[in-house]
Amino acid sequence: MPLTREQMDRKIDEHFGFEQRDDVEGVLSTLTADAEHDIVGFPTGPTHGREAARGFYVGLFSDLADGSVRPLRRLYGDNFLIDESLWSGAAVGRPFGLEGRNRPLSFRLLHVIEFADSGDMKREQVWIDLAAIQQQLPQS
């Protein structure tokens, strides 16, 4: 039986809530044990399993602070959703290899999420608007 839109919304909103609180364990708990985690363009390429995704979140939470995610649009299918969101917060570390210098930052994200029958996320693919990040964090 496919998940409902409400079930998918609850899970991705829970995931975003853990991210907002910099809760690595919480974020990982929203993924299946064997989840594929793919930040498109990230040097590691796709990783497989919760533990393999841990390093990305530890780094992300040290580079970005006070983050919030505002959903802009969601499209749904059988056990998948596509979420376009706007992330806003501060670049306190070196997000995506750029010096943040505690500057404000906002950029769009596109998530393609596939869900297991359990309701957990079995595949998370994230597309980041790196051009917007580079414009806001010029390196000089």
Which CATH number goes with the domain that contains 90?
3.10.450.50
Statement: residue 120 has pLDDT above 80: yes
Q: What is the mean pLDDT of the chain?
A: 97
Question: What does the alpha-carbon distance between residue 58 and residue 98 come to, in Å, rounded to a whole number?
Answer: 17
Quick check: 24 pLDDT over 80? yes
DSSP per residue, 14-42: HHHHHHHTT-HHHHHHTEEEEEEEEETT-
The single residue listed with the structure tokens 């693919």 is 125
Q: What is the arithmetic mean of pLDDT over 14-25? A: 97
How many structural domains are present in the chain? Answer: 1
pLDDT tops 90 at residue 1: no
pLDDT tops 80 at residue 140? no
Side-chain-side CA neighbours of 76 within 13 Å: the count stands at: 11
Q: Hey, what amino acid is at 39?
A: I
Q: Is the pLDDT of residue 26 over 90?
A: yes
Confidence of residue 17 (pLDDT cuts 50, 70, 90): very high
The identity of residue 10, as a single letter, is: R
Task: Map tokens 């609180």 to a residue.
Answer: 21
pLDDT at 50: 96
What range does the domain containing 31 cover? 5-136
For 23, residues 6+ apart whose C-beta sits below 8 A from its C-beta are none
DSSP structure string for 92-105: -S-GGGS--TTEEE
Structure confidence at residue 64 as a pLDDT band (50, 70, 90): very high
